[in-house]
Chain A
Amino acid sequence: MWDALIITPFINALLFIYTVVGQNFGIAIILFTILIRLITHPLMVQQIKGSQGMQELQRNEKWLEIQKKYKDDKERLAQEQMKLYKELGINPFASCLPLLIQFPIIIGLYQAIIQGMSNTPMDMLKLSRHIYPGFLDPAQVIPLNNHFLWMNLGQPERLYVFGIGIPVLAILVVITTFLQSRLITPPSNPGDQTAQMTGMMNLYMPIFMGYLAFTLASGLSLYFVVSNVFGILQYALLGKANWKSLLPGKKQPASSDVKPNRGKHESRKNNAGSNRANS
């Protein structure tokens, strides 16, 4: 089911791009990643809006008040929260649902790239079985040309300068992951435990991703870099990138700016205003 709905179409699309661009798997990975990010762009926009609404809600006075008031009565607390959601026009699932839909697509993209770089006979056998008969000729497509720039996309990447192997892609993965995570992190209040947790993840996640890029096939590192850079561009174009967070010592405290629902149009205007203030 998963293979038929996600992996097989993804692999065929990836291999189709590969043949169109003159059998260059590196360019195929770049174009395919951008294509998938573009297709999932509307979901990403919805997710950003939803999560922003929820973050603002956490700082809303009414929200804080009912948390305090009904902290011992879970049932009543849930009822009051639902009331407040309605009043403010917030859908609590607005950020989760698009993320849940995006998730299998991103995993599918990742798996399609991994299977494309088949490094064992078993992988290649599986890859050949994913190709739609009559759409592409496996005998002509296989094996994929894994050479891109100085890299073998099926192996961890090193650029040798004076005999020293420099993991250029791993360094780029660390930098772009750091930039992306900082740029998408909204301003927070001092002492906010969630924000501290996010801050720590922003620090360690780039190291973790860099470690993966250092040890795994460079085709995946290429995908990480392209995905990160395109993600940053998407946030920037939507006006959601928090550029000030890149400056050391410039922390902008969050403000409680969720207003009672006075119609969708007005709510959007308020959100846009707060975004401009953030950027």
Chain B
Amino acid sequence: MKTRRLPFRVMIAVVLAMFLLTACRGTFVNTWPGAAANQDAVYVAFQGSIQAINAANGSTICSFPSEPDAARPFYAAPAVSEDLVVAGNYGHVVYGFNKNCVEQWSFDAGSGNFVASPLIVDDIVLAPSSNDNLYALDASTGAEIWRFQSGNMLWATPASDGETVYLPALDHTLYALNLDDGSLIWKTDLGSALVSAPVVEEDMLYIGALSGEVLAVNTTDGSIAWRTQTNGQIWSTPVLHENVLYTGNEAGMVSAISIADGSFVWPQQNAGGPIIGGGVLIEEGILFPLENGRLVAYNFQGEPIQMWNQSINGKLYSTPVVAGQTLVVPVTEGGDKLLQAFSLNGQQSWPYALPK
């Protein structure tokens, strides 16, 4: 009798193990949250849903989807326009929803993950995927207009001047595409993986690379105007302010680089910890999140701003956002805390925890 039960018990054990592994699939994804802001709302993508949060008091406005799906999580910051929020997930689907988190459309790419944030240019949504394709979608219906296949995964948001799309790829290449039909205009090998969006200013484009270089590329033909080496990987988009690029790197150094010739405006500053997330402009200067949970800020002359010498319990990998009069910092491994808000004079404001 006892031995007859054996096959049944083994089968139950195997089925249970399968269920457990299926349940764990959502947690296999391990990365940091993404946040975007629009007027007085912050949209934060983390795990199974995107939360729309009132920047003034940290209350939840709505969440998309209404029932979180851990197996298809969102991590890339959504793109937000006047009346549309667009977000791609780690289940190869891009969603368009309104400010009340009501779905307007969806687009299923069939494979890959949407690691990078999409970009909305007028009535076109540009969604880069880890299946190597950039998808151009109709912003009102989600229908595919064109797609462009690159040589490797796309983890960086493209940039556009309204006519041309500048697409950084992990295959070390920067592609310039026609916004109307996705045809290739030029491509340039920048020497290492590109994981952050470029900044476009007039006829030049500026981008950081995992090699630690900051490069200036001519947007007309893709030629490299200058390249400046820093001492660590650059994971985020440089901030351009009055002809100076401000960037932090994985070695913990903050650089201010002149766009005229790529020279350092002031000596590189040691921030005290790796910088993965991007800098954000504040009134007095530029603020960076450090991986070790600290915030540091420098004025435009490269001097530290003491009131922003803050510490958060958790790790900071994501780029902070400013919504209204609030600076919102996404937190990784911060226990329950997903966001920490500050007033623009450096006072800690509300924390935000994911609803259970």
CA distance A123 to B32 in the complex (A): 10
Contact residue among B6, B18, B195 (Cβ-Cβ distance under 8 Å from A121): B195
CA distance A208 to B2 in the complex (A): 24
Chain A positions within 8 Å of B3 at CB level? 191, 193, 196
Does B11 count as interface, using CB distance less than 8 angstroms?
Answer: yes
In B52-77, the 8 Å CB interface with A consists of 75
Does A242 count as interface, using CB distance less than 8 angstroms?
Answer: no
Q: Please, which residue of chain A has its CB at the minimum distance from the CB of B28?
A: A216
CA distance A155 to B153 in the complex (A): 12
Distance in angstroms from A259 CB to nearest chain B CB is 30
Contact residue among A123, A203, A212 (Cβ-Cβ distance under 8 Å from B30): A123
Contact residue among A139, A145, A200 (Cβ-Cβ distance under 8 Å from B10): A200
CB atoms of A121 and B32 under 8 A apart: yes
Q: Chain B interface secondary structure, helix, strand, loop or mixed?
A: loop
18 contacts between A and B (CB under 8 A): A120-B115, A121-B32, A121-B155, A121-B235, A123-B31, A124-B195, A139-B209, A139-B210, A143-B152, A145-B152, A155-B111, A193-B6, A196-B3, A200-B11, A204-B13, A204-B14, A211-B18, A211-B21
CB atoms of B210 and A128 under 8 A apart: yes
Does A215 count as interface, using CB distance less than 8 angstroms?
Answer: yes
Contact residue among A120, A123, A212 (Cβ-Cβ distance under 8 Å from B21): A212
Does B267 count as interface, using CB distance less than 8 angstroms?
Answer: no
Does A197 count as interface, using CB distance less than 8 angstroms?
Answer: yes
CA distance A191 to B115 in the complex (A): 55
Contact mask B139-161 → A, CB, 8 Å, 1/0? 00000000000001101000000
Chain B: number of interface residues, binned into ranges: 35 or more
Chain A positions within 8 Å of B14 at CB level? 204-205, 207-208
Does B328 count as interface, using CB distance less than 8 angstroms?
Answer: no
Does A277 count as interface, using CB distance less than 8 angstroms?
Answer: no
CB atoms of B276 and A125 under 8 A apart: yes
Chain A positions within 8 Å of B10 at CB level? 197, 200-201, 203-204
CB atoms of B210 and A122 under 8 A apart: no
Q: Please, which residue of chain A has its CB at the minimum distance from the CB of B18?
A: A211
Does B335 count as interface, using CB distance less than 8 angstroms?
Answer: no
Does A91 count as interface, using CB distance less than 8 angstroms?
Answer: no
Q: Please, which residue of chain B has its CB at the minimum distance from the CB of A145?
A: B152
Q: Contacts A120-B75, A204-B11, A212-B21 known; A142 to B210 CB distance under 8 Å?
A: yes
Does B173 count as interface, using CB distance less than 8 angstroms?
Answer: no
Does B215 count as interface, using CB distance less than 8 angstroms?
Answer: no
Does A138 count as interface, using CB distance less than 8 angstroms?
Answer: yes
Chain A interface residues toward B at CB < 8 A: 119-125, 128, 138-140, 142-143, 145, 152, 154-155, 191, 193, 196-197, 200-201, 203-205, 207-208, 211-212, 215
Does B346 count as interface, using CB distance less than 8 angstroms?
Answer: no
Contact residue among B22, B155, B210 (Cβ-Cβ distance under 8 Å from A138): B210
CA distance A121 to B113 in the complex (A): 12
In B85-138, the 8 Å CB interface with A consists of 111-113, 115, 130-131
Q: Contacts A119-B113, A204-B14 known; A143 to B170 CB distance under 8 Å?
A: yes
Chain B positions within 8 Å of A196 at CB level? 3, 6
CA distance A124 to B212 in the complex (A): 15
Please indicate which of the listed interface residues A123, A124, A211 has the most CB atoms of chain B within 10 Å of its own CB.
A124
Q: Please, which residue of chain A has its CB at the minimum distance from the CB of B11?
A: A204
CB atoms of B210 and A121 under 8 A apart: no
CB atoms of B115 and A121 under 8 A apart: yes
Chain A positions within 8 Å of B276 at CB level? 125
Distance in angstroms from B87 CB to nearest chain A CB is 16
Chain B positions within 8 Å of A215 at CB level? 21-22, 25
Q: Other CB < 8 Å A-B pairs besides A123-B30, A139-B212, A208-B18, 5 of them?
A: A122-B31, A125-B250, A139-B191, A204-B14, A215-B22
CA distance A122 to B191 in the complex (A): 21
Chain B positions within 8 Å of A200 at CB level? 6-7, 10-11
Chain A positions within 8 Å of B11 at CB level? 200, 204
Does B292 count as interface, using CB distance less than 8 angstroms?
Answer: no
Q: Please, which residue of chain A has its CB at the minimum distance from the CB of B171?
A: A143
Distance in angstroms from B142 CB to nearest chain A CB is 23
Q: Which 7 A-B pairs have the closest CB atoms?
A: A139-B192, A120-B31, A139-B211, A200-B10, A122-B31, A204-B14, A143-B170
Q: Please, which residue of chain A has its CB at the minimum distance from the CB of B213?
A: A139
Q: Please, which residue of chain A has its CB at the minimum distance from the CB of B111?
A: A155
Q: Please, which residue of chain A has its CB at the minimum distance from the CB of B75?
A: A120
Q: Please, which residue of chain A has its CB at the minimum distance from the CB of B13?
A: A204
Q: Please, which residue of chain B has its CB at the minimum distance from the CB of A120?
A: B31
CB atoms of A197 and B153 under 8 A apart: no
Chain A positions within 8 Å of B111 at CB level? 155
CA distance A145 to B130 in the complex (A): 13
CB atoms of A120 and B210 under 8 A apart: no
CB atoms of A122 and B30 under 8 A apart: yes
CB atoms of A140 and B192 under 8 A apart: yes
Does B281 count as interface, using CB distance less than 8 angstroms?
Answer: no
